[in-house]
């Protein structure tokens, strides 16, 4: 391999490492969501703790109450779910979305049996 070929390989490797590093995100912290569903709107507070691709946390809203959750962050994709207690019924709630920057995310929410919708999230 000649010198020019080696330099090209090194440049490609450095650029690849830089791109991979850019995709590493950490959502740890307190976030405020704006949620719009067919059943209404809300502004829950969501606290995340991230360990690699695994996330855990706590969800708090006026409509769905308080719940702990688990989920994942893979690249810029985030997903988490929990069981909400609504009128003494356990209802599955799922969030899936995209992390759009250090302090922003957006995506979809599914409240089983109640409705679907969208959300945006901002880190506090």
87-98 residue pLDDT tens: 889 999 999 999
pLDDT of 16 reads 44
Residue 120 has pLDDT above 60, yes or no: yes
Tokens 């995100």 locate to 25
DSSP state string for 8-28: HHHHHHHHHHHHHHHH-----
> CA-CA distance, 98 to 105, in Å (whole number)?
6
Strand residue runs (E) in the chain: 29-37, 40-42, 45-51, 54-61, 65-74, 77-86, 89-101, 104-111, 115-123
| pTM, full prediction | 0.81
> CA-CA distance, 123 to 46, in Å (whole number)?
9
pLDDT of 48 reads 98
Picking from 38, 36, 83, the residue whose alpha carbon sits closest to that of residue 64 is: 83
């Amino acid at each position: 391999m000649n010198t020019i070929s080696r330099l090209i390989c090194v440049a490609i490797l450095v650029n690849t490492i830089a791109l991979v590093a850019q995709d590493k995100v950490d959502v740890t912290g307190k976030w405020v969501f704006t949620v719009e569903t067919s059943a209404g709107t809300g502004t829950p507070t969501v606290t995340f703790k991230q360990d690699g691709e695994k996330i855990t946390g706590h969800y708090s809203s006026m409509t769905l109450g308080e719940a702990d959750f688990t989920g994942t962050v893979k690249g810029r994709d985030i997903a988490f779910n929990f069981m909400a207690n609504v009128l003494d019924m356990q209802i599955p709630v799922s969030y899936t979305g995209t992390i759009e920057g250090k302090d922003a995310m957006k995506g979809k929410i599914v409240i089983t049996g109640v409705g679907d919708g969208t959300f945006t999230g901002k880190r506090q």
